[in-house]
Amino acid sequence: MTSEQLIASIKRRANIPDSQAMITDEEILDFANEEMLLNLVPLVVSKHEDYYLTSEDTVIQSGVYSYPIPYRALGSKLRELAYYDQDSERYSPLYRKSIDEITEDSARGTSSGANRFYIMNENVVLDTNTDVAHDFLTFFYNMRPNSLVLSDRVASITSIDRTSGIITVSSVPDAFTGTSKLDFVKLNSPHRILNYDLTPTLIDDANSQITFSLTDIPSELVIGDQICLQNETNLVNAPSELHVMLAQMVAARVLESIGDTQNLAAANDKLARMERSTEYLIDNRVTGSPIKASARRNGFLGRGRTLGRRR
């Protein structure tokens, strides 16, 4: 659903006519953004199927130990943290320690302190020697969905020139300026964010063209995908099958806001049935190949230990 289709679905479910002054389309989208972050996204993430998983590399600097968690990380939370050695093209795991352990036996730069980190505010702090030959610190995290806006703030791609970096769009929104940072959003489900926080080299309103650095244009970008302002989209960043459930969530929220308690009870009952059914759609993404537990180095099983019988 686009934002407009979502609004129309919400109004139908809540029996709200277009010619009413109780609630505006912008207020409905505000409710939708709140329901996305408070209910829909936590439901999807709770299944541990990595729908929003992405990664970001940060160059490790000699003598620098503190690195910010990417600001788009959902809940400022990481899925995993690792070293990436560009020469060997291999990841090395990093292990989180509590601040109590770090202050008790910190051994920065020694073998006993290697591959450890702790979290302070919105930063990860390495408790190891950063002069070692590792190239990148790789953050794996669930990306926060973009906020829903009306489609007049979004540009739809009509052609892509991968030689010049010129992308032609249906029209350049008035909100786009030379200093705007932009995101690429996939048209097809699950409407994920392909690349983000990009600064175009040129915005040509007359010819409906936006020029980007060639390295900023993802290989997956195709005609029909969207260019949006930073942190915005007109597409629900979730599998298409969940869009109707979001509409039901917002319809219940609207009914609550206008005090329609009679219809609210029926809307909440339908929403509960939807949530139970949705779990079958998003749980276990590869049904024929369930994830199997494996031992991690330096982990409990990795040290060759076994569980004793509980008495």
Nearest to 257 by CA among 87, 5, 27, 13: 27
53-62, 68-77, 240-249: which has the minimum mean pLDDT? 53-62
Of the chain, the end-to-end C-alpha distance in Å amounts to 55
38-52, 85-99, 246-260: which has the minimum mean pLDDT? 85-99
What's the average model confidence in pLDDT over 72-88?
Answer: 90
* pLDDT reported for residue 23: 87
Decide if 275 contacts 245 (C-beta within 8 A): yes
| Adjacent-strand bridge partners of 142 | 53
Query: From the CB of residue 28, how many other CB atoms can be counted at a distance below 10 Å?
Result: 25
Per-residue pLDDT band for 133 (boundaries 50, 70, 90) equals: low
Nearest to 2 by CA among 142, 152, 144, 143: 152
Helix (H, G, I), strand (E, B) or coil at 231: coil
Query: From the CB of residue 195, how many other CB atoms can be counted at a distance below 10 Å?
Result: 16
| Digit-coded pLDDT (tens) for 275-290 | 888 878 888 888 777 6
Residue 267: CB partners within 8 Å, gap ≥ 6?
Answer: 13, 14, 248, 251, 252, 255
Helix (H, G, I), strand (E, B) or coil at 99: helix
* pLDDT reported for residue 107: 52
* pLDDT reported for residue 230: 97
